[in-house]
Copies of this chain bind each other. A is one copy, B any other.
Amino acid sequence: MASAGVSEALLLEQSWAPVCLGGLQLLAKSCFKDTAYRLLLSDMQFVWEEEVNTAAIQERAQELNRRLRAPVSAFFTHLCKVACPRLTGCGEDEDSADSAEFSSLQCSQDRLDIRLKSELAGVPFYWEFRCTPASVAVVCSHFVRPLLAVSMVLQRQVGELGTLLARKDTEIQDYKESGAELSRARLKTEVFDEQSYRETFITQVLPQVCAAQDGLGFDADLQELYTAVTAQSSSRKRKRSDSHDPGE
């Protein structure tokens, strides 16, 4: 399950990003640090995770690359360099300079294995991400709670923007009542009615948005909000534990 301390907090504040690994469309979040990593992957039906420490990295690298003689820090640095861009959704270009190749070995409810082939100092370097099912607790902390917070934050934004629109309408009404006229009729806007906007939105726009979401649309704006709400949650937790243990 979750590792203690820094790594869990760091991973929590990392946003999910849509990635394509070996032909699989997934959401991913990962944290590579101090010759260890933690990885979460989801196809939105299941969620898998892997947590690997320095010793396990050393052992697996030997298993997959018999002739490897490099120290663990060297090939971990290489692994970060080739894997991280793809796991954060930044390096989806298959022709990237690193020419790292992902292939899916196994994808079932109980197991997600992804092989990574790259080149280290002129020879092939293999890695395998071997993920097992994440617990519901992990899914709650990395998906459910942040997404609920993001929804509430966005709802608040919608409310605030509705209020701003009403104020603009009042301003416009005042100009009109003073006899002002528009120089071009097409600049005229309808008075914003929150209730009817919401109804039209739900019947007409929402179906399109939901249809488009069949792809794993965790776009940059959503990632920014995700990061903001999880950072908030971490900072509140820190404050609470500070106030409980004033001596620490």
Contact = CB atoms under 8 A, between A and B. Distances in A.
Interface string A195-230: 000000110011101111110011101101100110
Contacts of A170: 187
Contacts of A167: 187, 189
A45 to B, nearest CB: 6
B158 A158 contact: yes
Q: How many subunits of this chain does the assembly comprise?
A: 2
Given A164-B165, A211-B236, A221-B155, A177 B188 contact: no
B156 A205 contact: yes
> How would you classify the secondary structure of chain A's contact residues: helix, strand, loop or mixed?
helix
- Most interface-central of A46, A144, A224 (chain B CB within 10 A): A144
A161 interface: yes
- Most interface-central of A154, A172, A225, A228 (chain B CB within 10 A): A154
Nearest to A177: B183
Interface string A121-144: 000000000000111110111011
23 contacts: A42-B144, A44-B140, A44-B148, A47-B136, A139-B144, A148-B218, A151-B151, A151-B154, A152-B217, A152-B222, A153-B210, A157-B158, A157-B205, A160-B205, A164-B165, A165-B165, A171-B187, A175-B175, A178-B181, A202-B224, A206-B229, A211-B236, A214-B236
Given A45-B137, A164-B165, 7 more contacts: A46-B136, A135-B136, A144-B144, A150-B151, A171-B182, A206-B229, A211-B232
